[in-house]
Amino acid sequence: MSSTRREFLQQSLVAPEPVGLPRAPTGGAIRKPRRLTPGSVVGVVDPASATWDPVDVDIVVESLAALGLKAKLGAHLLDRRGYLAGRDEDRAADVMAMFTDPEVDAVHALRGGWGCARLLPLLDFEAIARHPKILLGYSDITALLLPVFARGGFVTFHGMNGASEWNRFNVDWFRRVLMQGEAVTMTNPLQAGDQLVPTENRIRTITPGRARGRLLGGNLTVLTTIVGSGLLPDFTDAILFVEDVQEAPYRIDRMFMQLKLAGILDQVKGVIFGRCTKCTPGEGSYGSLTIGDVLDDYLKPLKVPAWEGAQIGHIDRQFIMPIGVPAEIDATTGTIRLLEPAVA
């Protein structure tokens, strides 16, 4: 996470405390939202940082149209209050409006940044639970994906934001997971190109083996920010996946320690570390641990299958990870296989 985003987190201390929020349930059947079909309506909201360029909105509207889908824009989509996309109350109202609107079939976040956690005390999770819909986004949207899964009791989706690239890779996963309802198998694309062997999109196995469990996770910084809120799902026997951006190794170390102390790491059956984009020690930090060192310190002692390098995170080409869907992972090959479709 960049220094700017850290400033956002520090300034968020003035936001209302999530006092009185009900604790997330630990069990029960998980429902699946309906798949998207030609003519489905996708509600586009901006629950976090402000959108600076209106062209981003034009691109998502046109991209959805190219897939045969209709966009419905949140009333406050282009609002701005400092670094936020408008007042907390207005952003929350847009989210609630999309979930309760019978015309809308999915809710897609335009961008992340910071701000979703500020909405949690303002959302009506009982109303959201009555209207299971596709909720798609990543990065700061983790602060909505996990609580909506936990409190709403239906699958949510960690994947491209509306302002992400609508390239062939991302669109393929959008179609296969959200429209065609495939029980997909996700493996990094490896092409040697002009090199003797592939050098891009490689994985590093930390602990080999296979495991099965529900996929749970998202952005590491945002996940650790809401630990203790009572709005996280039960991680028992889960497959944990995490990613981050512009975080020094010592910060990744600190966040994994928080997951360790909170008991989350000791509950999971496997770990997928996606990409930590621009997470180098920094110029002159010759004595620093590397991200690989930190991952080995925390994940090897778990003795569960684990690897790093999956196509998850702040990258141009991303998998769509269905939160709550059972999957089988293979840490030797870096494979994620859904055991059932993520949509109904």
Stated pTM of the model: 0.91
Give percent above pLDDT 90 in the chain: 85
- Catalytic: 131? no
pLDDT band at 192 (very low <50, low <70, confident <90, very high): confident
- Catalytic: 76? no
Q: What is the average pLDDT score of the chain? A: 92
In the chain, the domains with their CATH numbers are 23-179 (3.40.50.10740), 185-338 (3.50.30.60)
Q: What is the pLDDT of residue 237?
A: 98
pLDDT digits 0-9 by tens, 60-82 = 999 999 999 999 999 999 999 99
Q: What is the pLDDT of residue 281?
A: 84
Q: What is the pLDDT of residue 12?
A: 40
| Catalytic residue from among 76, 158, 243, 308 | 243
Give percent above pLDDT 70 in the chain: 91
Report the distance separating Cα 272 and Cα 287, nearest Å.
Answer: 26
Mind spelling out the 3-state secondary structure of the chain? CCHHHHHHHHHHHHCCCCCCCCCCCCCCCCECCCCCCCCCEEEEECCCECCCCCHHHHHHHHHHHHCCCEEEECCCCCCCECCECCCHHHHHHHHHHHHHCCCCCEEEECCCCCCHHHHHHHCCHHHHHCCCCEEEECHHHHHHHHHHHHHHCECEEECCCCCCCCCHHHHHHHHHHHHCCCCCEEECCCCCCCCCCCCCCCCEEEECCEEEEEEEEEEHHHHHHCCCCCCCCCCCCCEEEEEEECCCHHHHHHHHHHHHHCCCHHHCCEEEEEEEECCCCCCCCCCCCCHHHHHHHHHHHHCCCEEECCCCCCCCCCCCEEECCEEEEECCCCEEEECCCCCC
| Catalytic residue from among 139, 158, 164, 308 | 139
- Catalytic: 139? yes
pLDDT digits 0-9 by tens, 96-106 = 999 999 999 99
pLDDT digits 0-9 by tens, 259-305 = 999 999 999 999 999 999 999 887 656 679 999 999 999 999 999 99
pLDDT digits 0-9 by tens, 6-62 = 444 444 433 333 334 444 444 567 899 999 999 999 999 999 999 989 999 999 999
